[in-house]
Structure 1
């Protein structure tokens, strides 16, 4: 049977050539690593300064939404584990057009994120070597993660495993030190540590006077969302797990615990140790605390962890985009060279394509940093879209399983349909929040970055994608035999030669 005979074969063909080499410890640490990054280590400083202790509530609320997201993703993965992830699910449940949109938005998100992370690595390295040329740092950092990705999926998993170990280790040290300092009521930088700082903080627990607004902790959720970005990586990695049915539920169910301990626990201790006005944007709050405690060596460790976190993000970006591009290439929605794979099961061509964009983008960032800032802000909208596709696909999947069109999965998300609907509504509110916070950010229109991205950027991106789809659509129609709609209707298969059994990748192991 050829790839174009049926839609299911197109879906399953994505998995041909991949090696299922990611085991339990890789999966667990990929899930942890996706939930701990520069958003916690660095980005939380400005949020603490501008929001106050109520930031704990902001992180907790978004953490619940992140858990809803992971349960929805877990249900999709156990329905069908695929390296095409969100692209493949959108293809199955909403058709080729939405797969095209989802894939390119996700790729663009990682491309822009990777460029920003490369630039960040250059700045972090200058903490130790001030005279190190940033361009040299960019090339060295990219060479390292590119080499790892080109080796194998297992090499990627090993890097993420040890990166996660370092990040988790640093957070655990902080949590232990923080608990001792807070419970013991130690003096830190002239301030007495203790949980009383939650309400004795300047402005109280929920500051709403002076420079603060009552809606501050609510509005800041639009930024907190991006601290959790990349937890969806488990969905992409599922296609190369040795036992996705066993490992994904374990990883997903542990997410809420990790969020509670690492994120909410860290923020709670930070606001209990120092007044929030002591934290400043651009300096890790953990560095601030350790320096005031006189533990300068830990400040140095945190600076190193920032590099690890940025490298981990780069590593994840190359891994994800290589697989997403190959999924798009399978339906003629991306250049055909992106289908090329190595003997070790690595879609190397797509990975190299993304790395070239990283380099070119880094050069552009150095030349026009103000223009690039708008591009980086656009990634926030792209993350919201990707999360939205997960919720939408899970809702559609459950509609089909409830009607008996598709067999019920073994790991269904609880609270259907309310948890996913709440998730979708929340993402819309975050989008509105981005526009509002962007408008308030500056008195000058051209510096209202998030506002410009939401109000003008989204329509521009939508227009570009619509035109691009018109260009590739004839090839997609030819490749799929004009089967470009969703695979299922609420009454059964959309196409007469399709059955639920066709979705089993084992049935298509010979597709090339």
Structure 2
């Protein structure tokens, strides 16, 4: 007699896995490559931007955590939007979120091909892209614990690199290390605080730092897709989410503070990785290769999680909606994996090499990838709205994992997302992306509303 496929996702993710996946979702390649760019915008006050942005994203995660605690069997936060805001809103969030996963996945895949060429310049980028997407798709098609294990080690490499730069900086401070060169000097905490200004390069640059920092954190919500596959979710999820603020302080604020302690921020190149600079200062000749390896693993980690999340998102949408199309993706493999949804998403990511061969499509792809920034803000806003509606529903658990100071922090968090959307219009590139996002929001929002009205 043939064994029947399971009907529920398997709880194969341990606390160790979920903790590292949450960290991996918070730390992207932007920290290793783009730290110089963010510091150059507004100097030491970038730390304040990270703290403010981190605080509001922590509050959003507490809202997601409260929803997950109330319904730990939920397949994703899409279900909460459908349940508490409306099926059309859930449909809009589900497919919009899938787009915001698919396009960055293609961008990460392109970056991986370029990083690999650092060591193997003779291998065409498209060959690397195909091999990587096949490898990570296979990881995602096996038991979920293998995905969790892969993410555990990817995240570990990123954490070790950040802790290495923090420890290196502290040793330099304690030993009175003097950096060479025209702009060199004693490594000291005074390098951060001396002549401190909130707006050393003007108010506009300070405000422009907010969207850059905000989108460095995008991916923090990935943990909200994993509740149905986590062991003891009501015990694990609150602990993991409560650590978000601590991770932000250590990994972002701590690393940037140490970088500005070692190197005077006014002479820090915006287009170079400060991690490479710091490791070269201590005599690490292969610093560029080491950082390239860390960035490669960060990109692999991001792509791995994007494949996972895209598959779960399509599966959640299939369970939410009826129809031939949805029914096809509403099944699980013998390993309790939404294999059809994973393969569907991964196969579209395989179009990356083709997209970059066609100039017109390539430019459109870059535009759409940038436009996902604005779409993400609307998705976050609808998640917060779903949380508000949950608080007013009969499902509300008075003794649950509650968002702190909900009556004040909930509207403030939504206002912060509006503020971030507004800052996109301060820069021409971001403004074009925001307008592109608005086109999607209005166009697809109208189609979703029409579908459910019918």
TM-score, with structure 1 as normaliser = 0.82
**Structure 1 position 207, deviation (Å):** 4.7
| Structure 2 residue corresponding to 1:435, chosen from 401, 418, 425 | 425
Q: Contact 1:79–1:409 (CA<8 Å) still a contact in 2?
A: no
Residue 346 of structure 1 deviates from its aligned partner by 0.5
Tell me the distance in 1 between the aligned counterparts of 2:397 and 2:59: 22
Which residue of structure 2 lines up, in the alignment, with residue 450 of structure 1?
A: 430
Instruction: Report the alpha carbon displacement of residue 383 of structure 1 after superposing the two structures with TM.
Output: 2.2
- SS across alignment from 2:242: helix
Q: Contact 1:189 / 1:293 at 8 angstroms: preserved in 2?
A: no
> What's the CA shift for 1:426?
0.5
Q: Does 1:137 align with 2:121?
A: no
Residue 180 of structure 1: aligned partner = 171
Unaligned runs of 5+ in 2: 1-5
Equivalent residues in 2 for 1:337-356, closer than 5 Å: 337-356=328-347
1:381 aligns with 2:371: no
Match of 1:8 in 2: none
1:92-491 residue pairs with structure 2 within 5 A?
A: 92-190=83-181, 191-192=184-185, 193-200=187-194, 204-208=196-200, 212-330=201-319, 331-332=321-322, 335-368=326-359, 369-400=362-393, 406-437=396-427, 439=428, 449-467=429-447, 470-471=450-451
Q: CA separation in 1, counterparts of 2:52 and 2:303?
A: 28
What is the CA distance between 1:131 and its match in structure 2?
2.4
Residue 454 of structure 1: how far off its partner (Å): 1.7
Give the 4+ runs in structure 1 shifted more than 6 A: none
Q: CA deviation at 1:182?
A: 3.0
Deviates more, 1:121-130 or 1:391-400: 391-400
The structural deviation recorded for 1:366 is 4.3
For 1:376 and 1:391, locate their aligned partners in 2 and report how far apart those are by CA, in whole Å. Answer: 24
Equivalents in 2 of 1:459, 1:110: separation in Å? 18
Aligned residues of 2:89 and 2:448 also touching (Cα < 8 A): no
Deviation at 1:83, TM superposition (A): 5.0
Q: Per-residue CA shift, 1:49-86, capped at 9, x if unaligned?
A: 22212111111111111211111111011011245322
The 1:359–1:473 alpha-carbon spacing in structure 2 relative to 1, beyond 3 Å, is farther
In structure 2, the CA distance between the partners of 1:355 and 1:473, relative to structure 1 (3 Å rule), is farther
* 1:503 corresponding residue in structure 2: none
Deviation digits for residues 226-249 of structure 1, max 9, x if unmatched? 111111111101110110000011
1:69 pairs, out of 49, 55, 60, with 60
> Structure 1 stretches of 5 or more lacking a match?
1-14, 440-448, 475-512
TM-score scaled by length of structure 2? 0.92
Deviation at 1:124, TM superposition (A): 0.9
Residue 143 (structure 1) shift = 1.3
CA RMSD of superposed structures (Å): 2.1
Separation in structure 1 between the aligned mates of residue 17 and residue 56 of structure 2, nearest angstrom: 24
Distance in 2 between the 1:125 and 1:282 partners?
20
2:368·2:436 contact (CA, 8 Å) conserved in 1?
Answer: no
Distance 2:78 2:51 in 1: 29
